[in-house]
Structure 1
Amino acid sequence: MAAPILEVRAADVFYGASQILFGIDLAVERGQTMALLGRNGAGKSTTFKAIAGIAPPRRGQIALSGTTVSGKPPYLVARAGIGYVPEDRQVFPEHTVEDNLIVGAKPGPRGDRHWTTARIYEVFPILAGMRHRIAGRLSGGEQQMLTIARTLMGNPDILLLDEPSEGLAPIIVRAIGDLIRTLREMGVTILLAEQNMHFCMGIATHATVIDKGQVVYSDTIAALRGNEAVMQRYLAV
């Protein structure tokens, strides 16, 4: 069995005196698309912030390709190979699409530059036609695609997508789903936080379910699809 590219071990995370995550264990192997599923407030975004170094665990460890990154500041975590797309689609609104991409450009942790503006425009053709458009004038779905593309320009080892379907029209959600499937087929390793279980079923290869700050289930997406008890208990709205 291959060593995980990302491993979270027994992570406890606090906001001040309040504990949010309790002994989180999570492992993502290279090439997987892992869905981190749970209801609103279950701890998905906090898990992402812990991995990205924004809310470092008070106890436990986070490792990327076997190297500990927990305790490091967010910029060093990013340099180590974590690409984090937050849930609120943060673009530079007064700059063009292409400027946003250039701002995000950096070599990967081993100096690789697989993602360039040319490759981005091949994979995101909608952005190619908008390269000179001001980012703040894009729709929510277009901004979501731009944020994902800008993060890929940093050539990360793993891409963290926090609630990419949230607040988008159904047709745009389908387009985001198609994009994630394309990235998966290209071999991009993805950890995807979602409360929309149906969105993940046709996208993810594996699933981890979180509830009240604890991991309660982890298996393939096919196994989850056949586990009605877990879906009803932890994911049904």
Structure 2
Amino acid sequence: MSAAEILRVEDIDVFYGASQILFGVSFGVEKGQSLALLGRNGAGKSTTMKAIIGIAQAKRGTVSVRGTQVQKFTPDRIAREGVGFVPEDRQIFPEHSVEDNLKIAIKPGVGGRVDWTLEKIYDVFPILASMKGRMGGRLSGGEQQMLTIARTLMGNPDVVLLDEPSEGLAPIIVEKIGELIQRLRDMGTTLIVAEQNMHFCLDIASHVAVIDKGHIVYRGSIDELRANDDVKKRYLAV
């Protein structure tokens, strides 16, 4: 793990029962980088994210946050180490207001750092400010996705994992989510975005790792991927 890396996944294997899902997956992300983990449906993207946050246990290999191996930690302990997770299915609290959903997640970051407050969230997510008293269950899918991202930021993470943030949303909402993630990137937020939608990630990511059948088959910059038609056609169905 290089000194600049916030998070490093090294040679991890993950099984669901007797079925092996990940095979020696390795990649890292440095402070301020945005890494797109790209692959088709079922390639292993969500399992990789769950292995990082401790929901899926790595049978072999290591997951390190700022040099500390966390692969044996519980998810709440990994969160305290500075990893924020935005799950694919959002998991908001539907019977609580938008503001209560945000307040539930308040905690300082590593070393007591507080970069995100309610005021800053409402500045970056003005749509949430306008509906802070509305129940979470009454939000649209796109609004719930924004709320889930904002709730994760309230924990002041060092790195944010976003699992399929564009999944199931209308194209116009996907565009708005993309603009939001671009703004977070431009603010220096370290991101790992798991996606099947390569085009969604082209203006978001600085770097890319492509996963296929549980193996990392390509790593490089987003500009290198743009120029690599073979990888796009073979693994991303472009």
**CA offset at residue 58 of structure 1?**
0.4
TM-superposed CA distance for 1:63, in Å, is 0.1
> Is 1:22–2:14 an aligned residue pair?
no
Q: Equivalents in 2 of 1:71, 1:55: separation in Å?
A: 10
Q: TM-score, normalized by length of structure 2?
A: 0.98
1:2 & 1:119 partners in 2: Cα distance? 30
Q: Deviations over 1:44-87 (max 9, x none)?
A: 00000000000120000000011111110111001101100000
Distance 2:27 2:17 in 1: 23
Structure 1 consecutive aligned stretches of length 4 or more whose deviation exceeds 4 Å:
none
* Paired residues for 1:226-237 under 5 Å: 226-236=227-237
List aligned pairs for 1:17-96, cutoff 5 A. 17-96=18-97
Residues 135-214 of structure 1 mapped to structure 2, 5 A cutoff = 135-214=136-215
Whole-angstrom distance in 1 between the partners of 2:74 and 2:90 = 22
Partner residue in 2 for 1:121: 122
SS in 2 for 1:160: strand
% identity of equivalent residues: 65
* CA deviation after TM superposition for structure 1 residue 3, in Å: 2.7
Task: Give the Cα separation in 2 of the matches to 1:134 and 1:9.
Answer: 41
Which of 69-78 and 2-11 deviates more?
2-11
Query: Which blocks of at least 5 consecutive residues in structure 1 are unaligned?
Result: none
Corresponding residue for 1:111? 112
The one-letter code sitting in structure 1 at the alignment partner of 2:150 is A
Q: Provide the C-alpha distance between the structure 2 equivalents of 1:58 and 1:15, rounded to a whole number of angstroms.
A: 10
> Which secondary structure state, in structure 2, belongs to the residue aligned with residue 54 of structure 1?
coil
CA RMSD of aligned residues (A): 0.8
**Aligned partners of 1:211 and 1:72: how far apart in 2?**
27
Deviation string for 1:87-123 (max 9, x for gaps)? 0011000000000000011010111111110000000
Amino acid in the other structure paired with 1:229? D
Structure 2 distance, partners of 1:143, 1:3, is 33
Q: Which residue type is aligned with residue 221 of structure 1?
A: I
Mean Cα displacement is larger for which, 126-135 or 2-11? 2-11
Aligned partner of 1:158: which letter?
Answer: V
Deviations 1:5-50 (A, max 9, x none): 1000000001111110000001001101100000000000000000
Matched to 1:171, the amino acid is: I
**Matches of 2:179 and 2:140, distance apart in 1:** 18
CA distance in 2, matches of 1:182, 1:202: 11
Residue matched to 2:218: 217
- What is the DSSP-based 3-state SS (H/G/I as helix, E as strand, rest coil) of the residue aligned with 2:58? coil
CA distance in 2, matches of 1:192, 1:55: 18
Q: Provide the rounded CA distance (Å) in 2 between the counterparts of 1:110 and 1:184.
A: 22
Q: Distance in 1 between matches of 2:203 and 2:190?
A: 16
Shift of 1:2: 4.7
Alignment size in residue pairs? 237
Secondary structure of the residue that 2:182 maps to in structure 1?
Answer: helix
- Residue identity matched to 1:14: F
Q: Distance in 2 between matches of 1:35 and 1:220?
A: 10
Give secondary structure in 2 for the equivalent of 1:78. Answer: helix
Name the SS for the 1:210 alignment partner.
strand
Q: Secondary structure at the match of 1:183?
A: helix
Q: Deviations over 1:146-202 (max 9, x none)?
A: 000000000000000000001101110010000000000100000000000111011
Please tell me the residue identity of whatever aligns with 1:232: K
